[in-house]
Amino acid sequence: MCGRYASFRQAQDIADTFAIEEVAPDLALLAPSWNVAPMTTVRIVTERADAETGEVRRALRAARWGLVPSWAKDPSIGNRMINARAETIAEKPAYKKALAARRCLVIADGYYEWQAATTGRPAKQPFFIRPADGSLLAIAGLYEFWRDRASAADAPWVVTTTIITTAASGALAKIHDRRPVGLVPEEWDPWLDPAVGADEAARLLSGEGPEMIAEPVSTAVNRAGIGGPELIVPIAG
């Protein structure tokens, strides 16, 4: 799974990397974070057609991490939907419509995973896992729009998102059996393109993704309220 990650690059750096045409104004208030936790506001890249012109535009927008399907009555369901398994998203009612029409990239600098305790270690060891070349990590995600119609007919729309995960392999599998699906640059366009069908998009989830480096870090990251660049500093293994 993926339950914590880091996202600290400036919005302009993200916009340049992903050829963003529009940056949501509310992102100016979103501070960099070295300890992004579920149910908080995160940055995602989307492609949507303009309602008036039909022009497809790529945007960097804010979303709450924890997907809430449009049909949900209670937004608390998002607590259980921070991750979506690549193997089953095409069949699950909560994800299948989003896979067809609302795909996104969740932007990170790296993510954390915890290795089960081994001899001599009293607790799980956290690792910070990042692209080997120091680039941004584009994680395949889905997003949805939800609003509380029960409270008011004109209730505001809430954008929520989930991170897609798959089975880990190689060195990463020694830390945890799951990993977020990182997409390489040539996969970004077809994943985001709303004209690409669900079946074709799902095939992109089976790639190896970018080369990653995993380094042990302090257990300070275990507390969701703790944040700062010191969290990703490697410690002696």
Beta strands in 8-55, from DSSP E residues, in sequence order: 22-23, 33-36, 41-49
Catalytic residue among 2, 47, 104, 187: 2
- Concerning whether 2 is annotated as a catalytic residue, the answer is yes
Domain contains 219: no
Active-site residue, 21 included: no
Residue 157 lies in a domain: yes
- Tell me the pTM: 0.95
Instruction: Kindly state whether residue 214 falls inside one of the protein's structural domains.
Output: no
> What Cα–Cα distance (Å) separates residue 4 from each residue in 38, 60, 124, 184?
7, 20, 15, 21
How far is residue 3's CA from residue 36's CA, in Å, rounded to a whole number? 8
Q: Which of 47, 87, 104, 113 is catalytic?
A: 113
Give a yes or no: residue 229 inside a domain: no
Q: Is residue 199 part of a domain?
A: yes
Single-letter code of the amino acid located at 236: A
CATH number of 84's domain = 3.90.1680.10
* Chain-centroid distance, C-alpha 30: 16
Q: Is residue 221 part of a domain?
A: no
Query: How high is the pLDDT of residue 119?
Result: 61
pLDDT score for 35: 97
Number of separate domains in the chain: 1
In this prediction, residue 51 carries a pLDDT of 78
Q: What is the DSSP letter of 79?
A: G
DSSP for 198-222, please give it.
Answer: HHHHHHGGGS--S-EEEEE--GGGG
pLDDT at position 148: 83
Q: Is residue 124 part of a domain?
A: no
Q: Which residues form the domain of 190?
A: 5-108+135-208
Per the domain annotation, does 216 fall within a domain? no
Distance CA 60, CA 43 (A): 7
Average pLDDT of adjacent 10-residue blocks, the chain of 237 residues: 93 95 88 96 94 89 96 92 97 95 98 83 87 98 90 84 97 95 98 96 96 96 91 90
